[in-house]
Amino acid sequence: MPRRPTDETAIDVRDLGGRIAARRKRLGLSLRDASAESRVSLNTLSRVERGHLPDLENFRRIQVWLGDPQATAREATSTPDIIGTHLRTDPLLPSEAAEKIAGIVKDLYEALSKPPRATPVHLRAARTFTPDAARELGDLLDRMYQRLNAAE
Using only the alpha carbons of the chain, give its radius of gyration: 25
pTM comes to 0.44
Is residue 2 situated within a structural domain? no
Same domain, 96 and 126: no
Separation between Cα atoms, residue 96 and residue 117, nearest integer Å: 35
DSSP state of 30: -
Is residue 1 situated within a structural domain? no
CB count within 10 Å of CB 49 equals: 17
Is residue 3 situated within a structural domain? no
Is residue 40 situated within a structural domain? yes
Same domain, 67 and 83: no
Q: What is the pLDDT along the chain (152 residues), one digit of tens a residue?
A: 344 444 444 556 678 899 999 999 999 999 999 999 989 999 999 999 998 888 888 888 898 888 876 665 555 577 888 788 778 878 888 989 989 999 999 888 888 887 666 656 666 666 666 677 777 888 888 888 888 888 76
Q: 143: Cβ–Cβ under 8 A, 6 or more apart, which residues?
A: none
